[in-house]
Structure 1
């Protein structure tokens, strides 16, 4: 071993020390990013624990009130006195509530499937009644339209009504009557086949975008291949092989008589084996630094090959941090919505959200209390229809986004 200070000796020193080489600088960045990610997870977990204790009960109560509202409103769907526009507004209202319950992560033990079934059964009841009232003249017109598209198709009035309720049944009748392979209305030329909104365009800009994406992928692939090549060289170096063999000898569980330490070494040995298989030199270095006090003075070629390995680790840590902030898991959703610069700000964010939830629950409770007749419901629906008519589309979209968790 050389007497001069080497890379592994330096990385064991305090991270506040000024780095004397690129490798030491990269290692310090790795340690810094690792601590940053760990601290972020700790803070996020702490905030989530606060949310579970203080806010989630209000979220679950709001979900229960919305569920009651869906059940209450669903019973009005079959009422004949509703206009087409009013019934459409009512169905949209209920669907919006169901979507909210289905996508919200903190609804508790509400049986959303059962609530949806209640809504669907009432909607089916209305649809069945509406279909039963279709006059014969309209059924004949519908039959003629289908026969024009599918010559030879014969359907009874009841079958036409069933298709009105479930259009998929048309394909079943076509198959039963041997008309399922009807190709009369398929495109007759390549031009017709591509005459859709989803077809590729030969617009120059579109092709430029395509080739830009391809070239970007190609550059990334070439860069990764070069990195892999350097890592291959790194793992073929005698120094890393020597480090691996020393670790394998020290960590081998068969040489450990103590059962607890034997189990620990078994896990470490698995980690070491996986690192070698995956060419994870960073893990190998970490294990070596942890379990040996001596050092290895890397030659220049090994040092050069260590650089991309450490750079890759930094990129992985940064990608993990982005996922920590941008994920759609419960912890990250809570973090994005309620995190603040101080404890006081977080407390205020919680309080404001709880107040909004309570206000909505009060409104629903009031609505369930007075909106007990079709006449009163129609007034509510008319108000909602008028509000939509006078609300700019952009503002409506912003409002919906604001109330999404």
Structure 2
């Protein structure tokens, strides 16, 4: 089970905000310092600067691309899944859980039903994690009932404790931290209110102080003296840039609003230790020759800070890709849909057809006999599929 979706989305938004706030600064200057010496520290600084600008642009381009894909998905595909597919999935899963509890179902048939429900739940979780979680807990509760009437009293008590721990773990995994324990115990009926009422604000309130805030990268130097000197330089850069751009100095409303936006970006850069944005804003809006008046010690510290900034940007890119909620298949398909509206309509029609097929399957399951017949048909279809796949491999 994945950790808290709310927490994860919140973390992802923070990263996107950080990168987007930096997008207004100029990314065109590939050289930071004037230097013709390829062996000097100035040359190393310029090389790092160029790599940082490229990585920063790469991150921004990826965010723009994903925002476009997600916009199309949430505008057209997600609502279709919620309207058509989700009710059909919930109806079929609920019916399978009801039949699963019948005593005349054999163990192998129950195993098949569990796998069947698991496959359907994956689709539900993609559409609505909250509903998927509730159905998963309901299915687990049904499994608990079936196993309990097959066990001795001692075995039943041990199994019940195991299920209590399982429910607790599932909920805590979903919300990324501890949640209130219901007095009645951890079963489906007693924790539904937690799933419905436990908010992201409650999570942060309970975990206040347990999540480490990101420390500015300028604090990570080898010696206290070097750290102190570099912080002074960094803060001086911030103050000089802020003084030059202070909105109160402007009488023109348009310029004042522009400077207010730049000041917000500057403050965010200072809070996160984003030395690159600080330098870019300084060069763009202050622009004296201070960057060519470094001592060798200052240049060494700047190299250290830029290396850390580059590493941070690379890690952010990896995390952005990992946090993408859509599969590669969906992203490629959305790209085609953006170019061709017919492709988008085909996808919508497929979702509706899938919902109809699920409803037809649900309608068949009027009795245990019908369920057993459907299982036999599905097993035959699976065997036929695997045989065809093996046959195809032999001649490919």
Q: Is the 8 A contact 1:62 1:358 kept in 2?
A: yes
Partner of 2:104: 81
Q: CA–CA distance in 2 between the matches of 1:375 and 1:124?
A: 23
Matches within 5 A, 1:339-358: 339=332, 343=336, 347=340, 354=348, 356-358=350-352
Q: CA–CA distance in 2 between the matches of 1:274 and 1:57?
A: 35
- State whether structure 2 residue 323 is matched by structure 1 residue 328: yes
Aligned mate of 1:50, from 45, 49, 72? 72
Partner of 2:309: 313
TM-score, length-scaled by structure 2: 0.56
Partner of 2:168: none
Higher RCO structure (Cα 8 Å, ≥6 apart): 1
Q: Aligned pair in 2 of structure 1 residues 162, 277: CA closer, same or farther (>3 Å)?
A: closer
Report the 3-state secondary structure (helix = DSSP H, G, I; strand = E; otherwise coil) of the residue aligned with 1:79: coil
Partner of 2:92: 69
Q: Which runs of 5+ in 1 are unaligned?
A: 1-10, 140-158, 170-223, 397-405
Q: Aligned pair in 2 of structure 1 residues 90, 278: CA closer, same or farther (>3 Å)?
A: closer
Q: Which has the larger radius of gyration?
A: 1
Aligned mate of 2:374, from 373, 377, 380? 380
Q: Aligned pair in 2 of structure 1 residues 42, 86: CA closer, same or farther (>3 Å)?
A: same
Report the 3-state secondary structure (helix = DSSP H, G, I; strand = E; otherwise coil) of the residue aligned with 1:75: helix
Matches within 5 A, 1:29-40: 29-40=51-62
Q: Aligned pair in 2 of structure 1 residues 381, 96: CA closer, same or farther (>3 Å)?
A: same
* Number of aligned positions between the proteins: 299
Q: Is the 8 A contact 2:230 2:301 kept in 1?
A: no
Q: CA deviation at 1:258?
A: 9.3
Q: Which runs of 5+ in 2 are unaligned?
A: 1-24, 37-42, 164-217, 391-396
RMSD over aligned Cα atoms = 5.0
Q: Is the 8 A contact 2:247 2:256 kept in 1?
A: yes
Q: Is the 8 A contact 1:44 1:335 kept in 2?
A: no
Q: C-alpha deviations, 1:161-194, integer Å up to 9, x for none? A: 853762669xxxxxxxxxxxxxxxxxxxxxxxxx
- State whether structure 2 residue 299 is matched by structure 1 residue 303: yes
Q: Aligned pair in 2 of structure 1 residues 276, 51: CA closer, same or farther (>3 Å)?
A: closer
Q: Is the 8 A contact 2:26 2:284 kept in 1?
A: no
Q: CA–CA distance in 1 between the matches of 2:114 and 2:137?
A: 14
Q: CA–CA distance in 2 between the matches of 1:227 and 1:119?
A: 53
